């Protein structure tokens, strides 16, 4: 049977003994959220079917239901062998992402609940399993319009409109089973120190107090570092002195392989040695000024909505961006899956991590519960990726916001990760930020340039984190949504793109920009590519405009 998205979903903590559960599941929409009362937890069957990991709104799911779904149910039978339950082994059920409040049952008994629509979670289901047939049942509740949960660019009304698009409900990333020994590695955290040529490692473990963790680093086929550390409680802390320093950088994806061994548990991982700093109004990558040429990437796909149809398509969006001259992306209003970050690591592609904060009411205090737990999970999950060069939890907040919430988010993010710059809220109303950024869709290159030069009204801004968004839909010019006035022809579009981009590259006080956007999405038509991923303009024309040397890089 062909399994959709068959690749291992967690590239930085890979095990050999795992089973992909993507494919056909039984499925039912629960409009009244009455499924528990109606006995769906122990039902012999659900009414329909769905292809996991695609959301029911998507074509690839086989359901393609576009209206609001307050709750959805999934059911699948799995065979468990006696060998999988012998010798103290544990079986972990992992879900890459499920939007939004999820409860999992095994053989009719609850094994755990998770709140949040973007980050992976897992439950040890061993004690509920028996050798032979077992039933996994999952229910996800989703209240997109409630104001209590981050939904990003998912439309809060029935139709897609403006810059809000088709919703995602329920499972939208890979579901998999993993067999681990009784003592195993839960998660890792890598902090590179390029000046000392060392990697600092923290490994969280389970049932391993007093055991020895062994770590071997390789570059290519050569071992370049080895160390051991004793687990105290559930944590092992180690430093690996590297014999060779190979820096990870933009377009220079030097990565080390890392093997971690804890008793019978052996996992494969990798890391990059790099340092990102923002100081004196500039970004420094490995000690050298770098202009971050970013594209706004929202991670939507015509047939899969939030889910790329294949792993190759995740990588190809990075290739498409680089073909246009960009060295990175602002991952906008969505927490991207680890496989995307893996490909960014492999290509030396710089990205900013952001939550899908839109939809969450941040005027009062209920926002803490709806946002912070998953933001913590996000930083813990993605901390080790060298491609992530900054964090931005919120986007385009407003003057009526709870400013203490923004301060808390900044302080929390800095406490969890003090190795990367942080923007509290991208756009307009900053409360506490490392980088002063601005969104500016002025379509006139002259007035755009003047605003950020010394003496201009926004001279303190060093990162225009949204600009451009030039409308282009020649096939149907009267239908669509975009920024500014529409160019009359391709020549005018290219001239405007060059003028706006030059205005920022030539500013010696500008450190980064982010062009809106990589692709069209449904009715929004300001992409460099159509929604189908076909280029609107020859990349050979746009790449020299985007990638030429910036003023900040000439020093």
Picking from 450, 472, 552, the residue whose alpha carbon sits closest to that of residue 517 is 472
Q: For residue 185, give both structure tokens.
A: 């590695």
Q: CA 271 to CA 224: how far, in whole Å? A: 13
CB 28 within 8 A of CB 70: no
Q: Is the peptide bond before 127 cis (omega within 30 degrees of 0)?
A: no
Instruction: Count CB neighbours of 521 within 10 A.
Output: 23
Residue whose pair of structure tokens reads 């122990």 in the numeric block: 42
Q: For residue 315, give both structure tokens.
A: 């990588």
Q: CA 323 to CA 174: how far, in whole Å? A: 29
Residue whose pair of structure tokens reads 């999405």 in the numeric block: 521
CB 374 within 8 A of CB 390: no
Beta-strand ranges (E) seen in 396-526 are: 425-426, 437-440, 463-468, 512-516
- With a threshold of 0.95, does the pTM exceed it? yes
- In tens digits, the chain (555 residues) has pLDDT values of 589 999 999 999 999 999 999 999 999 999 999 999 999 999 999 999 999 999 999 999 999 999 999 999 999 999 999 999 999 999 999 999 999 999 999 999 999 999 999 999 999 999 999 999 999 999 999 999 999 999 999 999 999 999 999 999 999 999 999 999 999 999 999 999 999 999 999 999 999 999 999 999 999 999 999 999 999 999 999 999 999 999 999 999 999 999 999 999 999 999 999 999 999 999 999 999 999 999 999 999 999 999 999 999 999 999 999 999 999 999 999 999 999 999 999 999 999 999 999 999 998 888 899 999 999 999 999 999 999 999 999 999 988 889 999 999 999 999 999 999 999 999 988 999 999 999 999 999 999 999 999 999 999 999 999 999 999 998 888 889 999 889 999 999 999 999 999 999 999 999 999 999 999 999 999 999 999 999 999 999 999 999 999 999 986
Burial of 34 (0-12, 13-18, 19+ CB in 10 A): exposed
Cα 382 to Cα 197, 286, 340, 375, 386, distances in angstroms: 22, 20, 11, 11, 9
Q: What is the pLDDT of residue 168?
A: 98
- Angle 167-392-326 from CA coordinates, rounded to 5°: 85
**Domains of the chain by range and CATH?**
18-180 (2.60.120.260), 184-271 (2.60.40.10), 285-554 (3.20.20.80)
Cα torsion for 460, 528, 173, 23, to the nearest 10°? Answer: 180
Burial of 382 (0-12, 13-18, 19+ CB in 10 A): buried
Strand partners, 114: 102
CB 332 within 8 A of CB 2: no
Q: What is the pLDDT of residue 469?
A: 97
Instruction: Count CB neighbours of 399 within 10 A.
Output: 7
Q: What is the pLDDT of residue 475?
A: 87
Phi, psi of 319 (to 5 degrees): -60, -45
Q: What is the pLDDT of residue 477?
A: 83
Picking from 115, 22, 114, the residue whose alpha carbon sits closest to that of residue 76 is 22
CB 247 within 8 A of CB 287: no
- Angle 363-367-371 from CA coordinates, rounded to 5°: 140
DSSP state of 358: T
Picking from 93, 94, 74, the residue whose alpha carbon sits closest to that of residue 139 is 74
Q: For residue 257, give both structure tokens.
A: 């392989």
Report helix, strand or coil for 491. helix
CB 12 within 8 A of CB 382: no
Residue whose pair of structure tokens reads 């989703």 in the numeric block: 142
């Amino acid at each position: 049977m062909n399994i959709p998205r068959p690749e291992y979903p967690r590239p930085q903590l890979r095990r050999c003994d795992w089973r992909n559960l993507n494919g056909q599941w039984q499925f039912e929409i629960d409009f009244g959220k009455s499924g528990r009362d109606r006995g769906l937890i122990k039902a012999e069957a659900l009414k329909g079917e769905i292809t996991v990991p695609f959301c029911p709104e998507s074509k690839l799911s086989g359901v393609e239901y576009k209206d609001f779904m307050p709750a959805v149910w999934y059911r699948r039978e799995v065979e468990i062998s006696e060998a999988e339950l012998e010798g103290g082994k544990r079986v972990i059920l992992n879900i890459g992402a499920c939007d939004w409040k999820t409860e999992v049952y095994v053989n009719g008994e609850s094994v755990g609940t998770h709140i949040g629509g973007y980050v992976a979670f897992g439950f040890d289901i061993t004690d509920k399993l028996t050798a032979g047939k077992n039933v996994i049942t999952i229910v996800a509740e989703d209240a997109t319009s409630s104001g209590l949960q981050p939904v990003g660019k998912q439309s809060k009304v029935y139709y897609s409109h403006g810059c809000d698009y088709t919703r995602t409900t329920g499972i939208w990333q890979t579901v998999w089973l993993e067999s681990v020994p009784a003592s195993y590695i839960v998660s890792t955290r890598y902090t590179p120190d390029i000046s000392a040529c060392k990697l600092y490692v923290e490994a969280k473990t389970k049932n391993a107090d007093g055991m020895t963790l062994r770590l071997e680093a390789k570059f290519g086929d050569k071992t370049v570092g080895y160390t051991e550390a004793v687990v105290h409680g559930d944590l092992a802390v180690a430093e690996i002195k590297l014999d060779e320093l190979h820096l990870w950088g933009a377009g220079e994806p030097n990565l080390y392989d890392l093997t971690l061994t804890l008793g019978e548990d052996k996992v494969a991982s990798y890391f990059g040695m790099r340092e990102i700093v923002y100081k004196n109004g500039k970004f420094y990558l490995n000690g050298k000024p770098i202009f971050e040429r970013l594209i706004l990437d929202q991670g939507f796909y015509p047939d899969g909505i939030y889910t790329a149809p294949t792993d190759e398509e995740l990588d190809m969006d990075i290739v498409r961006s680089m073909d246009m001259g960009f060295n990175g992306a602002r991952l906008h209003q969505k927490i991207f899956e680890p496989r995307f970050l893996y490909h960014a690591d492999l290509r030396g592609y710089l990205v900013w991590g952001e939550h899908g904060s839109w939809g969450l009411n941040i005027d009062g205090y209920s926002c803490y519960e709806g946002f912070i737990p998953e933001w913590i999970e996000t930083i813990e999950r993605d901390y080790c990726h060298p491609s992530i060069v900054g964090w931005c939890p919120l986007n385009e907040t407003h003057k009526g916001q709870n400013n203490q919430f923004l301060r808390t988010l900044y302080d929390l993010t800095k406490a969890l990760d003090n190795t990367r710059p942080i923007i509290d809220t991208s756009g307009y109303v900053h409360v506490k930020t490392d980088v002063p950024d601005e969104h500016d869709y002025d379509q006139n290159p002259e007035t755009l340039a003047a605003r950020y030069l010394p003496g201009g009204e926004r001279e303190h801004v060093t990162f225009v984190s949204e600009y451009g968004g030039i409308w282009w839909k020649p096939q149907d010019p009267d239908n669509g949504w975009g920024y500014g006035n529409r160019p009359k022809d391709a020549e005018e579009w290219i001239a405007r793109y060059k003028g706006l981009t030059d205005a920022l590259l030539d500013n010696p006080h500008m450190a980064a920009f982010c062009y809106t956007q990589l692709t069209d999405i449904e009715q929004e038509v300001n992409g460099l590519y159509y929604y189908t991923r076909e280029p609107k303009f020859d990349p050979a024309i746009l790449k020299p405009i985007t990638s030429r040397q910036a003023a900040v890089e000439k020093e």
